[in-house]
């Protein structure tokens, strides 16, 4: 493309698609991802915006006057980063209100995408253990059950982090992490008078809350394919939890 308008159209298309990829990778559901691309492109001058969002690909077609451009990108892994989603929402709102220039918006979103996690892995492990210990308390576990759950969940979370880092799929890391947490809890069942509370709470860190919520949201909004994909992912993780717990309980039983 040689004209300034065509270059501008290409830049708008690229930036809007990058915004969609960012929203998708940080845990946005189908409607939110599509809306993010549409809001970005419209604020940058597009007259018509058509989007395609699937679990594997994101697509975008823009029209500016008589010009049209289509782009398609492979979708990244669907993770969870609500901090980035909130920052992206603020950036889009500022762009729509005219408080920042397109160049500033591009710089802001690049910073959001490049931002490293605020908390180190070891701190996440510690607080996941504490959170699961808190659930054991809510399940009326005694002090020994709470302490056992805290330790088992922390080690299970560390196992999950190590396996995710190695690129293992959800079924594998869910099974292994659930096995480790349940095995430790089961091995220490003699230390507590409420072992059931510890067993029930030690794997709660694996529950796929975001895929379940986003999958349900997609189904309610008529995005049946994406909803089924997200719910299937959640079911795979739940099956992994069940397999890991069953294997561990057979060993300690």
- For residues 205 and 216, give the distance between their C-alpha atoms in angstroms, rounded to a whole number: 20
Each residue's pLDDT tens digit, 51-76: 999 888 899 999 988 889 999 998 87
pLDDT over 70 (residue 6): no
Q: Label residue 7 by pLDDT band (50, 70, 90).
A: very low
Hey, is 234 helix, strand or coil?
helix
Residue 179: exposure state from Cβ atoms within 10 A (0-12, 13-18, ≥19): buried
Each residue's pLDDT tens digit, 104-127: 999 999 998 888 667 889 999 999
**Prediction pTM value:** 0.79
- For residues 42 and 51, give the distance between their C-alpha atoms in angstroms, rounded to a whole number: 12
Closest CA to 244 of 191, 184, 199, 181: 181
pLDDT over 80 (residue 142): yes
What tokens were used for 166?
A: 């190695």
Element (H, E) at 62: strand 57-64
What tokens were used for 53?
A: 């969002």
pLDDT over 50 (residue 215): yes
Please compute the mean of the pLDDT values over residues 130-145 and round it to a whole number.
96
Q: Integer distance in angstroms from the first to the last C-alpha of the chain?
A: 69
Each residue's pLDDT tens digit, 86-108: 999 999 999 999 999 988 999 99
- For residues 61 and 49, give the distance between their C-alpha atoms in angstroms, rounded to a whole number: 6
Question: Phi and psi of 59, rounded to 5°?
Answer: -130, 155
């Amino acid at each position: 493309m040689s004209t300034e308008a065509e270059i501008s159209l290409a830049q708008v298309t690229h930036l809007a698609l990058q915004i969609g990829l960012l929203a998708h990778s940080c845990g946005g559901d189908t409607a939110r991802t599509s809306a993010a691309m549409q809001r970005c492109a419209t604020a940058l001058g597009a007259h018509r915006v058509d989007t395609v969002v699937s679990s594997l690909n994101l697509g975008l077609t823009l029209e500016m006057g008589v010009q049209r451009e289509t782009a398609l990108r492979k979708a990244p892994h669907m993770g969870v980063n609500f901090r980035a989603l909130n920052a992206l929402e603020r950036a889009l709102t500022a762009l729509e209100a005219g408080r920042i220039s397109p160049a500033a918006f591009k710089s802001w979103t690049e910073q959001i995408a490049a931002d490293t996690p605020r908390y180190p892995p070891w701190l996440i492990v510690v607080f996941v253990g504490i959170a699961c210990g808190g659930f054991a308390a809510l399940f009326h576990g005694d002090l020994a059950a709470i302490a056992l759950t805290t330790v088992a969940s922390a080690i299970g979370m560390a196992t999950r982090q190590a396996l995710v880092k190695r690129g293992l799929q959800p079924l594998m890391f869910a099974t292994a992490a659930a096995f480790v947490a349940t095995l430790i809890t089961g091995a220490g069942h003699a230390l507590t008078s409420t072992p059931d509370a510890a067993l029930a709470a030690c794997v709660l860190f694996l529950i796929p809350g975001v895929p379940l919520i986003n999958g349900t949201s997609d189904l309610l909004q008529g995005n049946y394919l994406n909803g089924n994909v997200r719910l299937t992912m959640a079911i795979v993780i739940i099956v992994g939890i069940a397999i890991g717990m069953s294997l561990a309980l057979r060993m300690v039983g």
